Structure 1
């Protein structure tokens, strides 16, 4: 198997994989009320969302594809996909090498996909409810202290990782995650040599994904607050990859937060003055 950049033709398969991978995810189902009742409407909306995101200048999306030596799938079949988002610091944004300059045609296509998305949103039976839930989710994400010290720094964020349930536990997810690890590791080495902060990786993990991410060197620094959903549910785990140990340090024990024990905390040198180790 190998990974390659996602194309517009891949989007329907990617949406199918994501729906299958997160069919029991409480957050996804909360953000998509009546998805089971109006499956065609929701699929059209999902397709519009992903087509629009394909033209985001700081996003890098990849699919993992079966090769001739993969006897468990047809050659060329998409097994899973991932979406990496590059978040450059304010002072580095203008010259960031991982932020693409879109061509005129890409900008036109981006506008058309945005218009398509707005049309699909307007056609849905409860657009106000959808928007309200999206806003609640985004407000919680923006006020979360889990990634506070890194939020303004240059870093990579794994926004989406989905593997077809038929092909899970075959190394598909590991390959898609490894793309970001290799980029961050190479960039960190180069930046540290120039006296600049290293580039970490952030992601929010569901419970099933924790073992994989831990095995690849990511550490838990806290959990999202999911109280905005209105019913008891555990928030996703805030995880960071920081091979240089610049941003975080390992701890033997920290007081339990929402659940479990924190595996790492931010280094004192990068903590905001108003923060404490137990408020990350």
Structure 2
């Protein structure tokens, strides 16, 4: 398999993978309590989210595509999974490297779309969503075991990583993580994410550390473990990523800690 940036025509496919993958996910059920009653609106919410993210300057949506050498090759390339990465950092150097140049109109459009008013209107209009839950979700601060593991100004965050059910246990999750690990290695900055229970084994397997927790909902069980990967230093700065063919643990949704 190979990894490439997502394009506009991928958006419906990514939303479909999300809906299939999160059927029993507690976090998704919390945010979209009407998802089973309004399946069309539910998938449309993810299509709109992906469309917005693919246009956001600091976000990179990377998709894993099948190739003829893969055992699941169907005769045509298929999206087996995707990872949404966000390059956190506001420095001039970061913006010059990772933020594509935009017109004033484009910048204003992105800013207006990201306001609370715009997000509230979107939530109200979508019957699969809960407005109250949307705006109280993830409102608690992260808790770290060691203050030094708290996210710095610059880091790569995983917003979400999902592998289509028919392609799980084939190393797709590891392949998608490898892309972000390589960016972080070159820049010598960490990778940070919040994991559901289903994803924890994968993150331990690729060398990430459990550094704290993030409470995303009001009930005690509504929390995720925080994971971090720090790039090796000096002569050790090489990626020992698992081979693409290695079996991968099932991957579920992830949301990066608030920055």
TM over 0.5: yes
Aligned counterpart, 1:58: 58
Alpha-carbon deviation of 1:211?
1.4
Aligned counterpart, 1:95: 93
The answer to whether the 8 Å contact 1:58/1:85 transfers is yes
Partners of 1:168 and 1:106 in 2: CA distance: 41
Alpha-carbon deviation of 1:243?
3.5
* 1:207 corresponds to 2:175: no
Partners of 2:128 and 2:182 in 1: CA distance: 42
- Unmatched segments (≥5 aa) in structure 1: 189-198, 246-280
Point out the structure with max Rg over C-alpha: 1
Aligned counterpart, 1:229: 218
The SS at the match of 1:159 is strand
Distance change in 2, residues 1:169/1:152 (3 Å): same
Partners of 2:128 and 2:34 in 1: CA distance: 9
In the TM superposition, what are the counterparts of 1:113-132 in structure 2 within 5 Å? 114=113, 120-125=122-127, 130-132=130-132
The answer to whether the 8 Å contact 1:55/1:110 transfers is no
In the TM superposition, what are the counterparts of 1:1-280 in structure 2 within 5 Å? 1-74=1-74, 75-88=76-89, 90=90, 93-96=91-94, 97-104=96-103, 107=106, 114=113, 120-125=122-127, 130-140=130-140, 143-146=141-144, 149=148, 150-188=150-188, 199-226=189-216, 228-230=217-219, 232-244=220-232
The answer to whether the 8 Å contact 2:57/2:99 transfers is yes
Deviations along 1:216-268, one digit per CA (max 9) or x if unpaired, are 11000122224x334x42521100101448xxxxxxxxxxxxxxxxxxxxxxx
Scaled by the length of structure 2, the TM-score of the pair is 0.77
The SS at the match of 2:227 is strand
Distance change in 2, residues 1:210/1:216 (3 Å): same
Alpha-carbon deviation of 1:94?
2.0
The answer to whether the 8 Å contact 2:212/2:227 transfers is yes
The answer to whether the 8 Å contact 2:60/2:85 transfers is yes
Distance change in 2, residues 1:117/1:76 (3 Å): farther
Alpha-carbon deviation of 1:4?
0.4
The answer to whether the 8 Å contact 1:202/1:240 transfers is yes
**Structure of higher RCO (CA pairs closer than 8 Å, 6+ residues apart):** 2
The SS at the match of 2:139 is helix
Aligned counterpart, 2:241: none
The SS at the match of 2:137 is helix
Scaled by the length of structure 1, the TM-score of the pair is 0.72
